[in-house]
Structure formats: structure tokens, C-alpha cells
Chain A
């Protein structure tokens, strides 16, 4: 009987405790660091965005005692944990948490598109050179790839990109208005295979896009093999383009380097969308702006309390 009473008493205290709460923000409290799992593309984007790329796939360089949660759970945690810091993709930000300005710029879609908000990375595409597609010049594969690239600039594709959590570039062109320029899409292409590859962070977006596009373009077969941004150029225009791993379309989650762009004409590459990430804290946190350097120092453990973080 005593045990039951004890448990009831304990539960009661906890309920009462949950009702009261102090509003003081204690700057000397320890920062609780929240992060995504090492397999997450958002983590990759965030860590490289704050100049801490070595933490993208490695937990052991992070501050000890970090908490691993997924996108929604980090958002939810910031409504509870006054002293926490986490990061989510910009498209899931809402007013239950505080999205921090990054290097002085407010995290909004407009600031992402006008290229002032910097905690982001571009999603790029690259295709093979004209006439270098399987089947030679003007082959069905080449025509389908050209049609696909045109599709990427339409509002149909923008909707798919936004639904997948990235931020599409503004456009008002619809697929219906340009599809006549690509007669190949009116045929039955079920025997044609187009090979997609490159960044694994873009795989989800790319698959959503090809799934929608193949239905509009004669049901061609879209083969996805995403191995990393480095392979976007290598397998379409670089040294492995003619091997079995060669691709017709490569995606990259970073801008192409000068070496990569050297043998590629401007019509062969373009930007698909932005992937923007925002650092978030609890609403009661007095901080509203943060720099890449401060975030790195929080995530590697140099800054242990909020008082350590320079206010600007």
C-alpha cells in the first residue's frame, strides 16, 4: 500500500511541477546541442555551411552529450528545451521556435532566393555534352534529358521541389506551355533508360522529379544511382563518363568547381533549387543572430554556456 501511495505522491508532484515554470533565462546554463543522425543530408549541409565539414559524418568530433533527433523532433525539442540549439530545414520553420539570423541575415525564403542568406547550399544539375549521349547525336536519351532540364525550370517542377523540402527558384513557366518544344515526350519511351546520379542529398528530390516527369514523357525508365556530389561531373563529363558508371544527368549539392566547369558549356549545367537550413533556439533565448564561427564553436564544445556565445 505504501508503495502505491508513494507512486501517486510522486506523480502528483510531477503534475504540479509541470504547471509552474520560471521565465528567467539563465545564461550560465549549459547549451544542449541537438543534431541529426550522420546519415542525414541536412546535417551534411549544416556542418559544411558553418565550416565544420569534418562533423558531417562523424559523431566523435562533436561536443560530448549531444542529442540526436530527426527534423520534427528537433523542432519539437526547441519548444521545450530553453537552453537547446538545433537546426532544421528552412521549409519546416514555424513560429513555435526562434529561427536565428545567420551572419546578420534573417532566414526567409526571399533572402535565400536573393542569395543574401548564407546557411544554404545550391542543388545543381549537369548533363553530358551534346552528341555524347548513348545512341549518339540527337538520340532519344539526349532529347529526353533536354526535355527534363526544361522541365526543371517549370512551376510543375518547383512544386515538387518545394514539397520535398528544398526551395525552388522562382518561375512562372508551366510544363504545358513548353511541352510542344519537346516532341519526344509525346512518344512511348518505355524502352529508353536515362541514368541519374551524383549527390545523395538530392536523391529524394531527384527521384520525386523523375517520377513526375517520366509520366509526362512517355514512361521512360529513370535509373537512380547517387554516390556523392563529386561524381556529378566525373560521371557525366569527367574521366569515368564512358565507363559503366557513366551518367546522363548528374546532381551536385554544392557549386561546381572551376576544374569541373572547365570543359563544360553553360547550357550543360544549371541550378535546380536551394537547400536552406536554419539554426533554431527556444523562444525565450535572448540571442537572435549567430555567426558560422559561433555555431561551429557550440557544436565542437568550445562554447559550453550561452554566456560564452558573443551577442551581436
Chain B
């Protein structure tokens, strides 16, 4: 009798153990891809600095990080690459786009979460979610087909001549459009989860609704809103396709002129990749290392600031 009961229990335990092991294995496999990817990029990206690249000579790492011209000399025959100015252009473009997308995104989130009637809020939420899922190439086509002309004509009316609209401004507009949905979605969750008692307390003390929204709700949701900005910056830093269609691929000289052409680390990696070979191909992996480093540094900095400012707990 005992045996009859024992056997199914043992079998169940064995199944549990098996399932646990399989899931564990899959988790390890998934997590290990980060090491595989980072490893491949790292190895490929370091070769231009340590080998002589088939007779061209190795790339000087210091000049690579600080220089002001992407490539001096002939493609496929020169080792004088540098991304110094591109790093700064990238950060410049991303911060400008955040300057637009952050206020717009957060205020939209406030409207959806606190002010809009339920039906409108539901509708807006769906629209924002759809916007967030639009592929970046669609934003790029919209940029190339519409924003470029808009920026060109707009600057012409102001008396400036832009380069067919290929400019910092177009890039910033596209990046802002792409990051607004990210910022809105995450900010909205943070704003909605602000403790009701805080709001009621503020209203009971005689504050108007607007005062409560801006002074109590937004500051209580600070931490979550900051997270949305971090993710927004992440999306903007990593965007390549859409940006390459409107940036104009600046190849030398740092410029902060919003109507001049620009380039980012991602567009530099992407452009001409199809027809490239040898060092000109490998160097794109080095740019990839720089991009990963920039993203890590920006994320750590923002997280540090977030810890400093986000004192109020959000449930």
C-alpha cells in the first residue's frame, strides 16, 4: 500500500526537479548572451588598436577618442580614425531632444493620469502605446519625407540656409518624437501610483488642483519620472536608423549650430557598412565599444542623480 502512494509523489518531485533544471538552463543561456555579445564586440573592436590592420598600421586609441575628424586620408588606406567630436555631438543631440520630450512627455502623463476623463485617458493611453511600438524606420521615413522639408523651409523663412534640412534640429525633433511615448508611459504609471492620501491632504489644506498636481503629485512621482527620462535617453542614444536619415553625416569639426549637419555614434557605425571591408569595417566595432561605454556612463550618472533627488517614496 505504501509503495503505491510513494511512487507518484517521487515522480512528481522528479518532474519538478527536471522543470527547475530546464528553466535554470534557459535562464543561464539567455543571460550568457550578454557576455557573448559584449565579448564579440570587445574583441572585434579592440583589434584595430592592437594589430597593424593588414599593413595600414594600428589605430592610436588616444587620438581615436579625442580627434576632431572621423577619417583623415583615404578610406581603406588610412588609420587616422577618431570619434571625439562625435561623442560630444551625440550627447548634445540627445540632451536637446530630452529638453523637448521630457516636459511634453511628463505633462502628457500628468494629463492622462490625473486630469483627463476616464474615456479620453483610455484613448490617449492606447495612442501613446501605439506610438511607442512604431518601428524606428517609420519615424526615419517621416523625418526624411516631412521634417527635412519643414526644417528647410522654416529656416529659409527665418533667413537661414540649412543643408536641405539635414541638421541637428531635424535629428532632435525625430528623437523627441521617438522618446515622448517612452517617457509618457513610464511617468504615467509613476504618477498614478502616488499615494491618494498625499493628494487629499494637499487639497484639504486649501491648495488648488493645479497646485496639487505640480507641487505634490509630480514631486512625489519624481523617482519614477526620472526613470522614464533614463529610459528615454537610452532609446535616443541607441537610435541609428531614423537618425541616419536626417542627420546629414558630419565627418569633421565639432559644431553646436542647430541648423548644421551632425552625426551620432550609431549613424557613424551604420553608414557605409554594407560596402565596407577591412579596417574601415572593424573600426565600427570600436565605435560600438565607445557607444556602450557612453551608455553605461550616462546611465550610472543619471541613476546617481536619481538617488540624490528622488527622496520621496513612490508606491
Give me the interface of A with B, judged by CB distance under 8 Å: 1, 3-4, 7, 13-15, 17-18, 20-22, 29-30, 32, 34, 37-41, 57-60, 64-69, 73, 76-78, 80-81, 83-84
**In the complex, what residue of chain B is closest to A41 when comparing beta carbons?**
B275
B145 to chain A, nearest CB (A): 8
Do A39 and B163 contact each other (CB < 8 Å), given the known contacts A4-B107, A21-B156? no
Band of interface residues on B: 35 or more
Q: Across the interface, which residues of A come within 8 angstroms of B234, CB to CB?
A: none
B77 in contact with A80 (CB, 8 Å): no
Q: Across the interface, which residues of A come within 8 angstroms of B71, CB to CB?
A: 38, 59-60
30 contacts between A and B (CB under 8 A): A3-B103, A14-B154, A17-B150, A18-B153, A20-B153, A20-B157, A22-B156, A32-B163, A37-B249, A37-B275, A38-B71, A39-B274, A39-B275, A39-B276, A40-B272, A57-B74, A58-B73, A59-B251, A60-B69, A60-B72, A60-B252, A64-B253, A65-B163, A65-B260, A66-B251, A67-B261, A69-B166, A76-B148, A77-B166, A80-B164
B77 in contact with A57 (CB, 8 Å): yes
Main secondary structure of the interface of A (DSSP, over half): mixed
A222 to chain B, nearest CB (A): 19
**What 3 A-B pairs are tightest by C-beta distance, nearest first?**
A81-B164, A68-B249, A39-B275
B275 in contact with A34 (CB, 8 Å): no
B63 to chain A, nearest CB (A): 15
Partner of A68, one of B69, B150, B260, B271: B271
Distance of A15 Cα from B154 Cα, bound (Å): 8
Do A67 and B166 contact each other (CB < 8 Å), given the known contacts A14-B150, A57-B74, A60-B252? yes
Distance of A73 Cα from B271 Cα, bound (Å): 13
**In the complex, what residue of chain B is closest to A72 when comparing beta carbons?**
B144
A36 to chain B, nearest CB (A): 9
**In the complex, what residue of chain A is closest to B103 when comparing beta carbons?**
A3
A76 in contact with B75 (CB, 8 Å): no
Residue among A4, A32, A68 with the highest chain B CB neighbour number at 10 A = A68
B152 in contact with A80 (CB, 8 Å): yes
**In the complex, what residue of chain A is closest to B151 when comparing beta carbons?**
A14
Q: Across the interface, which residues of B come within 8 angstroms of A73, CB to CB?
A: 144, 245
Distance of A73 Cα from B245 Cα, bound (Å): 8
Distance of A140 Cα from B241 Cα, bound (Å): 47
**In the complex, what residue of chain B is closest to A59 when comparing beta carbons?**
B251
Distance of A57 Cα from B166 Cα, bound (Å): 22
Partner of A84, one of B107, B149, B164, B251: B164
**In the complex, what residue of chain A is closest to B214 when comparing beta carbons?**
A1
Quick check: is B76 within 8 A (CB to CB) of the other chain? Answer: yes
**In the complex, what residue of chain B is closest to A58 when comparing beta carbons?**
B74
Distance of A166 Cα from B43 Cα, bound (Å): 39
B248 to chain A, nearest CB (A): 4
B277 to chain A, nearest CB (A): 8
**In the complex, what residue of chain A is closest to B246 when comparing beta carbons?**
A73
Do A30 and B73 contact each other (CB < 8 Å), given the known contacts A39-B272, A39-B280? no
